[in-house]
Chain A
Amino acid sequence: MVREAVDVNGQSGAGRTAKNRAKVRTSNLNFYYGDNQVLKGVNLAIAQNKVTALIGPSGCGKTTLLRCFNRMHDLYPGNRYEGEIILDSAVNLLSKKIDPIEVRMRVGMVFQRPNPFPKSIYENVAYGLRVQGEKRRRVLDEKVEKSLRAAALWDEVKDRLNEVGNSLSGGQQQRLCIARALATDPELILFDEPTSALDPIATASIEDLMASLKETVTILVVTHSMQQAARISDYTAFMYLGEMMEFGTTKKIFSAPKEERTRDYIGGRFG
């Protein structure tokens, strides 16, 4: 019954027009840490150029789901996926034939705590291009500037690109990390509670940034804050105990949730 609701919402909620077509779609996604099944038959369609928020109580599997999209789980032994994550209705990201490194070039990630590399601001942003073999100075300069502008950080750092990334404030560091993720022109960016370590002002700047970024990329964000989900997302997925309980437009999920669990969680009765 639950799965049905998701399918219906996933299809009709994301719409069928070209502009709103699904960028990524998971089908019957199961995920195991060893013998422990953490995701149970997750079906989710992520609309292109929209912000989709994953909400749910701690331990519901929302971060685990997020980390499936760039195969981050491959880094650790004993992890296993079942099901499919289809990008652009064409490629199954979980296929054994697909190199996770290629997946990560197309799917960027921003982490909970700002984690700039121990390198200069410039090299932090250029990193993704350098590891892909880009050596031409002109191309790097261009991309670094473009990414920093897109991350609304250029004006603050343009005169000190050679200082280490750690010299920036927390909010600036997080925008640097967003610029780093943008530099390789990913199609989808995963945000794992990107503002949980930031103060309200920095949080607001990151939220504004995400709203402007969705013109060029598709965004999937895990958040603990329902207010944040309501503020920034177009679609919201509510997860509970590894299952996708309810998915739909943010407006619908927050104003008229179908499931009782969703209603209780959004109403603050648990979580």
Chain B
Amino acid sequence: MLPSLAEVAKGKGRLRGNLAERAIEVALFLAAFSAVAITFSIMALLITESVGLFKTVSIVEFLTGTEWAPLFEPPRYGILPLVCGTVMTSIVALCVAIPMGTISALYLSEFASPRVREIVKPGLELLSGIPTVVYGYFALIFVTPMLQRFLLPNLPGFNMLSPGMVMGIMIIPLIASVSEDAMRAVPRELREASYGTGATKLQTALQVVFPAAASGVSSSYILAVSRAVGETMIVSVAAGLQPTLTLNPTEPAATITAYIVQVSLGDLPHGSTEYQTIFAAGLMLALVTLTFNVMGHFLSKRYRENY
């Protein structure tokens, strides 16, 4: 049977529609692709610049060496002290931020009256608006002296504990805000079902809302880890810049980021081994963050709930 005129005309219209559709699809693809492309080019830059270093230093020495002194004679290229500094300050930060942030989120989402929430939430978010260099000096000239005075009299002026704690305070709003969103997205019926069996507010919050929001909450923790690992200014100012391999948070140490900022401020000759160490350290940092992101991805998948 031959198609009628009307049907043919309709087909043409659809064709034009398809073209516009295609154009939008391509534009959207390019937008999405650019983010991926930028990430990959940064990784490519880090890798190509680091390769130079690994011509003079073996990867094994880089990864397992316990001394980091690329600017000294003889130079040492063991990244472990920097990784250790990053991990230790991050652990201290998370010990502060995860409990405080989670409790704040639970309070804001389940217990606070709308009025209290209206005041507390913006206040909390102000914390993340403070420049990190201010946090750094806060750690150096307020928190460290306070710790020395009241808790640890032998604490050195530069240490990992104080910037770690301050970094934790800085991260609280990140965890609180992302977790609170996840908790508030838990359907009302789920809460009502819990109350309906005779549960209290606290039981509902801890046993129903928290597990139901676990996927979002664990994402907030992973974001917090990435933030702590990447944090530069606070640790540069208050942790000291001396690479030290130690698991004791009361000792001074340098983190990967602190090393990068310290060295790149000086004038290193382009292409020198010292110059290349910046990229190798940056690559290390990117890999650590990447590992956490991948972990976060699987964690949130593991706990994902579909309502």
Contact = CB atoms under 8 A, between A and B. Distances in A.
Contacts of A131: 194, 197-200, 203, 207
B192 A177 contact: no
Given A132-B198, A166-B306, A115 B211 contact: no
Interface in A97-122: 101-102, 104-105, 108-109, 111-113, 115, 117-119
A31 interface: no
A77 interface: yes
Nearest to A131: B199
Contact of A104 (B189, B197, B307): B197
A115 B198 contact: no
B193 A177 contact: yes
A112 B199 CA distance: 20
Nearest to B304: A118
B199 A181 contact: no
Interface residues of B, number: 23
Interface residues of A, number: 28
Interface in A168-202: 177, 180-181, 183-184
A257 to B, nearest CB: 33
Contacts of A111: 189, 192-193, 196
B197 A181 contact: yes
Contacts of A113: 189
B155 interface: no
A102 B212 contact: no
Contacts of B113: 77
Contact of A180 (B193, B306, B307): B193
Contacts of B195: 72, 75, 104
Given A117-B194, A127-B207, A131-B207, A101 B189 contact: no
Contacts of A132: 198
11 contacts: A72-B192, A104-B197, A108-B196, A111-B193, A115-B192, A117-B190, A117-B193, A117-B211, A127-B197, A131-B207, A184-B198
Given A115-B190, A180-B197, 16 more contacts: A72-B196, A77-B113, A104-B197, A109-B193, A111-B192, A115-B307, A117-B190, A118-B211, A119-B211, A127-B197, A128-B197, A128-B198, A131-B198, A131-B199, A166-B305, A183-B197
